[in-house]
Amino acid sequence: MTPALTDLAEEIRTRSAGRARFIVGIAGAPGSGKSTLADQLAALLGDGAAVLPMDGYHLDNDQLRDMGLFERKGAPETFDAAGYAALLRQVRAGGDVAYPTFDRAADRTVPGGGRVTADTRILLAEGNYLLLNEPPWSGLAEQFDMTVRLDVPRAELERRLIARWLDHGLSEQAARARAQGNDLVNADRVIAGAAPADVVLRDTAVGK
């Protein structure tokens, strides 16, 4: 763990003291390391902390095809932003809350795949667009008690995204096309439209 992560975990502990539920919004471009960061923070914070991913709110592939957005899967408009906002409100209210997760291998959502238990106090909400300054995403801001943004150089994002598709079995040419034709388009939108965050991490070593 880097000193930056340890310091961030301590800051979350301090800010969340005495709170029944404390929600941290973690955002950044595709490939910036949001999931890795959230998992590392949850491990540092220990019992009572859990990750709340946005990926389970992908719209179904059939719906995306009907909308003409299947080739843009992963773009802001291919997610159910209102559904994720409703989840955050449920979590804020307390108690046990089930939420959908995303199975990357099967490329589909899993209804009820995750659960926030009543004794979970700190929620690490993570997703590309949680700090996007565009409606409806901009409406999420009121649900966060603290926000964190990962700022990774574009060249490093490109390297990671190509490597991700190579890991999925694509050829070098196909991996580069997927990364440059969709993922980096979404990354540029996140970077250009990022709302201010309480904490900005510029360490490129936070995973991929």
User: Model confidence over 97-134: pLDDT tens digits?
Assistant: 999 999 887 888 999 999 999 999 999 999 999 999 99
Predicted TM-score (pTM) of this structure = 0.92
The tens digit of pLDDT for each residue in 166-178 reads 998 999 999 999 9
Q: Residue 208: what pLDDT?
A: 44
- All domains of the chain, ordered by start, with CATH? 3-152+193-201 (3.40.50.300)
- Binned at pLDDT 50, 70 and 90, residue 207 comes out as very low
Q: What is the mean pLDDT of the chain?
A: 92
Q: Residues 110, 91: contact at Cβ < 8 Å?
A: no
Rg (CA), the chain: 17
The pLDDT > 70 percentage for the chain reads 96
- Binned at pLDDT 50, 70 and 90, residue 187 comes out as very high
What is the pLDDT averaged over residues 30-54? 95
Q: Residue 4: what pLDDT?
A: 86
Q: Check pLDDT > 80 for residue 64.
A: yes
Q: Among 79-83, 197-201, 204-208, which stretch is predicted with the lowest mean pLDDT?
A: 204-208
More confident residue, 106 or 55: 55
What is the pLDDT averaged over residues 56-63? 93
Q: Residue 84: what pLDDT?
A: 96
- Per DSSP (E only), the strands in the chain are 22-28, 49-53, 97-103, 108-116, 122-126, 146-150, 199-201
- At 33, is the secondary structure helix, strand, or coil? coil
